[in-house]
Structure 1
């Protein structure tokens, strides 16, 4: 998801590393903090793959800043990743939110809707955090108030997400 975030934010405008890190941190929040030890090697890989360019500009003080921008190859790569997200980018809630943050860059509304349909299909598959005799445990059947809470919150969140997906897909297909 780090590379998708880098490509997505740089699709919008060139940034220096510090600003890019701040935007990624704001998107992923406390759930998945990004360290310099992860960010800068990822940037180096993307530069080596010719997906990013970097140039040096004078900073506000004495230090120069490296400004990162997306190459045409990087733009093509981002759009390909948005068109065909990995299964984990559909099934993992935080990864899906990262995908959603940049899905607007995909110019074809039908392709955007197709990605949302994949998430919709995933949500329509019965699942639970807990199982009994191979069957999902419903909130009302959970053995304690804590598991009941987990299941009720997940059910409410899922219902709201399904409603939004239906609305968004209708809007994209109209």
Structure 2
């Protein structure tokens, strides 16, 4: 997840570490917090793999009291690797973290892949919803009213996510149909 996010952000523009941290926090704020301690090891690993380059700061511009900021850039190999990551559809693309990172870069993802990820996420959330409903019905009157309200609130949240995913899937399918229709029309 962090690898996709870092590569995706660097595909937009080169950044120094602090700027990446801020953008990652903004990106994952809606989905989950990430560990800042994992950012620099990830940057080092991506650099060693040749997917990003690291530009050392110019000493002339740095003050004696502060270290200059290293700027990270996506390499050509990094662009290819990022595209490969976006094209992969597997179980990690459907969980909370993986889905959030993928969704953030949907504009750079092929339509057929977006649809597969959305459908996979919907299946995952529907399974979660079914499990919650089953647990709630099995518990019956054993739950006090507060615990039952908490479970029902969670179920309502999951129902909302399923409806949202249904809307996204329909929009994706509609835009695909419109693109296919436009491509099939003869030129006037």
**Bigger strand fraction:** 1
Per-residue CA distance 1:33-86 (angstroms, 9 max, x = gap): 321x21101110110111110112348652322110111111111111111143
Change beyond 3 A, Cα 1:163–1:109: closer
Contact 1:89 1:96 in 2 (8 A): yes
Select the residue among 118, 134, 152 that pairs with 1:116: 118
TM-score by length of 2: 0.75
Contact 1:116 1:169 in 2 (8 A): no
Give the corresponding residue for 1:47. 47
Change beyond 3 A, Cα 1:142–1:131: farther
Aligned partners of 1:83 and 1:105: how far apart in 2? 10
1:93 correspondence with 2:83: no
For the residue of structure 2 that corresponds to 1:54, the secondary structure is strand
Correspondences of 1:60-139 after superposition (within 5 Å): 61-62=62-63, 63-90=67-94, 92-106=95-109, 108-123=110-125, 125=127, 127-129=130-132, 131-132=134-135, 137=137
Give the corresponding residue for 2:170. 166
**Bigger helix fraction:** 2
Give the aligned length.
167
TM-score by length of 1: 0.80
Contact 1:4 1:78 in 2 (8 A): yes
- Shift of the alpha carbon at 1:146? 1.5
For the residue of structure 2 that corresponds to 1:57, the secondary structure is coil
Aligned partners of 1:114 and 1:10: how far apart in 2? 25
For structure 1, which runs of at least 5 residues remain unmatched after alignment? none
Correspondences of 1:139-154 after superposition (within 5 Å): 143=143, 144-154=148-158
RMSD of aligned C-alpha atoms?
2.8
Higher gyration radius (CA): 2
For structure 2, which runs of at least 5 residues remain unmatched after alignment? 179-188
Contact 1:51 1:74 in 2 (8 A): yes
Change beyond 3 A, Cα 1:127–1:9: same
Aligned partners of 2:120 and 2:84: how far apart in 1? 16
